[in-house]
Amino acid sequence: EIVLTQSPATLSLSPGERATLSCRASQSVSTYLAWYQQKPGQAPRLLIYDASNRATGIPARFSGSGSATDFTLTISSLEPEDFAVYYCQQRNIWPPAFGGGTMVEIK
Protein backbone atom coordinates (compact mmCIF):
# COMPACT_ATOMS: atom_id res chain seq x y z
CA GLU A 1 0.00 0.00 0.00
CA ILE A 2 1.16 3.52 -0.77
CA VAL A 3 1.75 5.78 2.22
CA LEU A 4 1.43 9.54 1.78
CA THR A 5 3.43 11.65 4.23
CA GLN A 6 2.50 15.30 4.53
CA SER A 7 4.75 17.96 5.98
CA PRO A 8 4.83 20.00 8.00
CA ALA A 9 2.08 18.82 10.32
CA THR A 10 1.29 22.44 11.18
CA LEU A 11 2.17 25.61 9.32
CA SER A 12 1.82 28.91 11.19
CA LEU A 13 1.56 31.87 8.83
CA SER A 14 0.00 35.31 8.58
CA PRO A 15 -2.58 36.45 6.01
CA GLY A 16 -0.84 37.54 2.84
CA GLU A 17 2.05 35.12 3.26
CA ARG A 18 2.87 32.25 0.92
CA ALA A 19 2.12 28.70 2.05
CA THR A 20 4.03 25.70 0.75
CA LEU A 21 2.71 22.26 1.70
CA SER A 22 4.44 18.98 0.87
CA CYS A 23 3.11 15.48 0.16
CA ARG A 24 5.54 12.61 -0.34
CA ALA A 25 4.49 9.16 -1.60
CA SER A 26 6.20 5.92 -0.57
CA GLN A 27 6.29 4.93 -4.26
CA SER A 28 5.47 6.63 -7.53
CA VAL A 29 1.87 7.72 -8.09
CA SER A 30 2.69 9.37 -11.43
CA THR A 31 0.58 12.55 -11.38
CA TYR A 32 -2.51 10.89 -9.88
CA LEU A 33 -2.60 13.08 -6.82
CA ALA A 34 -5.25 15.44 -5.48
CA TRP A 35 -5.41 18.06 -2.74
CA TYR A 36 -8.41 18.78 -0.53
CA GLN A 37 -9.19 21.53 1.95
CA GLN A 38 -11.22 20.88 5.10
CA LYS A 39 -12.50 23.55 7.46
CA PRO A 40 -13.81 22.73 10.96
CA GLY A 41 -17.28 21.20 10.86
CA GLN A 42 -17.29 20.95 7.07
CA ALA A 43 -16.79 18.25 4.49
CA PRO A 44 -13.56 18.30 2.49
CA ARG A 45 -13.42 20.28 -0.76
CA LEU A 46 -11.46 19.24 -3.84
CA LEU A 47 -8.84 21.88 -4.74
CA ILE A 48 -6.39 20.25 -7.15
CA TYR A 49 -6.53 17.03 -9.17
CA ASP A 50 -3.93 15.22 -11.26
CA ALA A 51 -1.22 17.09 -9.36
CA SER A 52 -1.68 20.48 -11.00
CA ASN A 53 -5.25 21.03 -12.26
CA ARG A 54 -7.50 23.34 -10.27
CA ALA A 55 -10.98 22.01 -9.62
CA THR A 56 -14.01 24.03 -10.68
CA GLY A 57 -14.32 27.33 -8.84
CA ILE A 58 -10.96 27.14 -7.06
CA PRO A 59 -9.11 30.50 -6.93
CA ALA A 60 -5.90 30.93 -8.88
CA ARG A 61 -3.89 31.50 -5.67
CA PHE A 62 -3.99 27.71 -5.21
CA SER A 63 -1.54 25.77 -7.35
CA GLY A 64 -0.18 22.25 -7.36
CA SER A 65 3.00 20.76 -8.75
CA GLY A 66 5.05 17.60 -8.70
CA SER A 67 5.12 14.06 -10.02
CA ALA A 68 6.14 10.55 -9.02
CA THR A 69 6.77 10.81 -5.28
CA ASP A 70 7.05 14.52 -4.45
CA PHE A 71 4.20 16.99 -4.62
CA THR A 72 3.60 20.55 -3.48
CA LEU A 73 0.50 22.63 -2.86
CA THR A 74 1.20 26.35 -2.90
CA ILE A 75 -1.12 29.10 -1.73
CA SER A 76 0.43 32.24 -3.14
CA SER A 77 -1.06 34.74 -0.68
CA LEU A 78 -3.12 33.46 2.23
CA GLU A 79 -6.62 34.80 2.62
CA PRO A 80 -8.42 34.54 6.00
CA GLU A 81 -10.65 31.76 4.63
CA ASP A 82 -7.63 29.61 3.68
CA PHE A 83 -6.75 28.69 7.26
CA ALA A 84 -7.79 25.04 7.34
CA VAL A 85 -6.46 21.48 7.11
CA TYR A 86 -5.17 20.25 3.75
CA TYR A 87 -5.02 16.61 2.66
CA CYS A 88 -3.41 14.95 -0.34
CA GLN A 89 -4.86 11.78 -1.91
CA GLN A 90 -3.43 9.35 -4.48
CA ARG A 91 -5.49 7.29 -6.91
CA ASN A 92 -2.75 5.59 -8.90
CA ILE A 93 -2.58 2.31 -7.00
CA TRP A 94 -5.30 0.46 -5.06
CA PRO A 95 -6.09 1.12 -2.31
CA PRO A 96 -6.34 4.87 -2.66
CA ALA A 97 -5.09 6.77 0.36
CA PHE A 98 -5.11 10.14 2.00
CA GLY A 99 -2.13 11.77 3.65
CA GLY A 100 -2.26 12.66 7.32
CA GLY A 101 -2.95 16.33 6.69
CA THR A 102 -1.30 19.71 7.20
CA MET A 103 -3.00 22.32 9.34
CA VAL A 104 -2.46 25.88 8.18
CA GLU A 105 -3.05 28.10 11.19
CA ILE A 106 -2.97 31.84 11.78
CA LYS A 107 0.29 33.01 13.29
The reply to whether 9 sits near other proteins by the rule CB under 8 A is no
The reply to whether 63 sits near other proteins by the rule CB under 8 A is no
Question: Residue 101 and residue 107: Cα distance in Å, rounded?
Answer: 18
The reply to whether 60 sits near other proteins by the rule CB under 8 A is no
Burial class of residue 92 in the structure, from the number of CB atoms within 10 Å of its CB (0-12 exposed, 13-18 middle, 19+ buried): middle
The reply to whether 101 sits near other proteins by the rule CB under 8 A is yes
Question: Residue 82 and residue 65: Cα distance in Å, rounded?
Answer: 19
Q: How far is the CB of 2 from other proteins (least distance, A)?
A: 11
Cα-flanking dihedrals φ and ψ of residue 43, to 5°? -70, 155
Q: How far is the CB of 37 from other proteins (least distance, A)?
A: 11
**Residues forming the site for other proteins (CB under 8 A):** 1, 34, 36, 38, 43-46, 49, 55-56, 87, 89, 91, 94-101
